[in-house]
Structure 1
Amino acid sequence: MAVETCTCGRTVDGGNPNLRFTLPDPVLELPEKEQTPGTWMSHGAARESVMMQVPGAGPFVRVLLPIQLDQGHTLTYGAWLAISPDDLQRTFAIWWEPEYADLRLEGLLANAIQPWGLLSTPVTATIRNPDETPYLTASPDPLMTKVLTETWPHADVVG
């Protein structure tokens, strides 16, 4: 399964669900997925990794995509952002350093987010809290901008 509930114990139909994509969609399309020879991951497994580079798919960094839901709830996706190899090197170099607080990444969303799709949508990720993964905060795409800024009916998004 591409999307899993978080280890926080919340369920998908709970008030503030969290969903974490294990792999970027382009990696899921590869025959050997993250086991592709030459794959590098920041941690021992894809589920725990915050960065990866997979031959035939590219470099990725984990990001958070909060979706504001009605009734004051938020659905947060742990998704992947496709970035350049240079940005992966830069991100890795500062991930645990004070400079991480100023990290800004431009890339393409590497997971489809339902009900909108949005795979390969250009987005910007920035740091809201230096102890957290980067958040998607802006996009030149009108639909992604709406997803980032508007409140959505819980039933339409979580189902």
Structure 2
Amino acid sequence: MNSSTTHTCAMCGLETSDHDRDVRFRLPDPVLNSPGQHLAEGSWLSEPDPNVATLMQIPGISPFVRALLPVQLEGGHELRLGVWVAIHPDDMQRAASVWNAPEYSALKLTGYLANRIEPWGLFAVPVDLAVLNPDHTPYCVSSPNAGLHDVLTREWSHDVLASLP
């Protein structure tokens, strides 16, 4: 079979490659909307490129950790959103101290979504994070917010793909 052949989903008409994919937010929304963004004086990123960074501290805004927000789609597909989560400064210190250590696999954090998640309109809602795979950033695993709880636990129509970048 030709590797350049595309396959169309019978459920929504999109290419199947649009289904099981990762979408990564470059910056947290509060940083994106701030003067100097991630280059503001006193800012710290775990990597110089925010597309690669997993931890970020922006003075006067918040510390942030990157997390994966899994969205289950009909037909067994999964969309993974690489979101930023605002966390407490003490949690940033704790996360940074274990990030590349064996203790990372037991890391659990709480925070607030720092990216607007469409089509659900979720932003600044509480979220619980846990490391499910030590080779990945933490996953969003639960939330007391009903809307985010639904995103994490329901299976969604492929229509949600149209609202993503």
Task: Answer yes or no: same fold by TM over 0.5.
Answer: yes
CA–CA separation in structure 1 for the residues paired with 2:131 and 2:63: 19
1:115-126 equivalent positions in 2, closer than 5 A: 115-126=119-130
Q: SS at 1:86's partner residue?
A: helix
Deviations 1:39-81 (A, max 9, x none): 0000111111000001122100000001001121111100001
Cα RMSD, aligned residues only: 1.4
Q: What residue number does 1:130 align with?
A: 134
* Letter in structure 2 aligned against 1:79: V
Return structure 1 stretches of 4+ with deviation > 2 angstroms. none
Aligned residue among 11, 18, 22 for 1:14: 18
CA–CA separation in structure 1 for the residues paired with 2:128 and 2:135: 18
Q: In the comparison of the two structures, how many residue pairs are matched?
A: 148
1:14-33 equivalent positions in 2, closer than 5 A: 14-33=18-37
Change (3 A) 1:43 1:14: same
Q: What residue number does 1:97 align with?
A: 101
Q: What residue number does 1:142 align with?
A: 146
1:64-103 equivalent positions in 2, closer than 5 A: 64-103=68-107
TM-score, structure 2 length as denominator? 0.86
Question: Do residues 36 (structure 1) and 43 (structure 2) align?
Answer: no
Q: SS at 1:61's partner residue?
A: strand
Residues 12, 158 of structure 1: 8 Å contact kept: no
Greater C-alpha radius of gyration: 2
Change (3 A) 1:15 1:34: same
Q: Which ranges in structure 1 are unaligned for 5 or more consecutive residues?
A: 1-10
CA–CA separation in structure 1 for the residues paired with 2:61 and 2:17: 32
Aligned residue among 138, 147, 161 for 1:158: 161
Q: What is the percentage of aligned positions where both structures have the same residue?
A: 46
Residues 13, 158 of structure 1: 8 Å contact kept: no
Displacement of 1:128? 0.5
CA–CA separation in structure 2 for the residues paired with 1:89 and 1:101: 16
Question: Do residues 51 (structure 1) and 51 (structure 2) align?
Answer: no
